[in-house]
Amino acid sequence: MGPQLKCAMMLFVCALAMLGFASMAPAATTTRPSHQHHGDDEKPAGGVISLDACADGDRLHLLTAMRTDGQSPRLRYQSSDDGGATWSSPVELGAAQTPTIAKRGMDAQIAAAGKNLIAVWPTAGSDKMGRGPMATALSNDAGRTWRAGPNPADDNLTIGHSFIDVAADPRGRGRFHLVWLDSREGATKGLRYARSDDGGATWSRNQTLDGDTCECCWNTIATTPAGGVGVLYRDNNPRDMALVRLIAGGETWSTPTPVGIFNWEITACPHVGGALAFSSTNAAHALVWLAKDNDAHGVYALSSSDGGTTFASPQRLGPHSASRPDLCVAANGHLIATWDADAADDASPTLIRGIYIAASSDAGQTWSTPRRLSDPARVATHPRVARTSTAARIFWTETPPGGPTTWASSPIP
């Protein structure tokens, strides 16, 4: 990043801090998880460093990584059969393959199809950031026990394979889809894909979906009810988001489709990805983030009635500071969007980042007024939403003043 760009970004951050955003809605009651981990009270950087959640049927699945002072990160799995009101005791996995997770946004990932579960994460390696190959853990008893699985990458390299996402075939056939970024071709990062038809025991030959992508933004993979696949990722030159699609039953991926034409030219990595979900009618819905200028800054919602071939005009959700979005289609067909943003609560003039939601009952044409979910006294970021067959729940990580980072969640109000 050049000195002029760094200066401009610093000025923008300072301007946000001086303005302060008023809270857009009263805080909703946050449900505290039964097995919240508090780590070392003297080290606020400790605690939860990674979080991912998914749902299969009526069961919620949660994968977190914990770090305490002087110890390597530990992966923990939990489940809930009552919509997140109570949680199973944590089960540790991946002890022999320590995760290398520098920050939220490159989280370890989990997907579930019946009793078959897959967890995937990056391990240490030889790239300049210390990242390396992927590791997997598999369970065929609904998460009670786990065993080590193979590395899905077929390049046999120790370079970084990161910004992973995994999804299960919604038809419950034991098929899993996986995407990630690596630089196996040399100078550029590329978007790679692999598929497993046997619950993660073996993986297909890797495919390159785009050989020149942004370096450090997370990817999102989503499946259609019919078994099709879509991948939302940040492209390069410009750094707008793009979508590639695999039609159900096919083997050939589409060419990338822009998801909003913002023409965002930047010589740095934004470190923020997007969100993608498909409805029962095969409509594609996406949330993207950018910080191009005052007129194109924040989280934008876009919808496509033709499955992702073309998208309608973007609509901004929340203030300029909105970032790190996620999205799902609820059981009733409504869209639920979530993100984090700066806001001043009633008791303090300072900017306290929190979790917000908005909903759409008309396929993304209009959205409700955003509402804050997280505790206004805690800095909360990186929400994730998971939907069971009857309800949806939002997860995030939060840090109280002087305390370690924990995970928290809330049902949709």
Domains identified in the chain and CATH numbers: 3-411 (2.120.10.10)
pLDDT confidence bin for 59, thresholds 50/70/90: very high
Q: Average pLDDT for residues 11-19, to the nearest whole number?
A: 35
pLDDT at 17: 34
pLDDT confidence bin for 344, thresholds 50/70/90: low
pLDDT at 88: 97
Query: In this predicted structure, which of 83-97, 242-256, 344-358 has the lowest mean pLDDT?
Result: 344-358
Query: In this predicted structure, which of 120-129, 348-357, 379-388 has the lowest mean pLDDT?
Result: 348-357
pLDDT in tens, 77-107: 999 999 999 999 999 999 999 999 988 999 9
pLDDT at 45: 54
pLDDT at 372 over 70: yes
Q: Average pLDDT for residues 158-166, to the nearest whole number?
A: 97
Mean pLDDT across the chain, nearest whole number? 87
Rounded Cα gap, residues 193 and 230, in angstroms: 11
pLDDT at 13: 35
pLDDT at 138: 98
Rounded Cα gap, residues 247 and 244, in angstroms: 10
pLDDT at 347: 57
Q: Average pLDDT for residues 30-41, to the nearest whole number?
A: 32
Rounded Cα gap, residues 173 and 280, in angstroms: 19
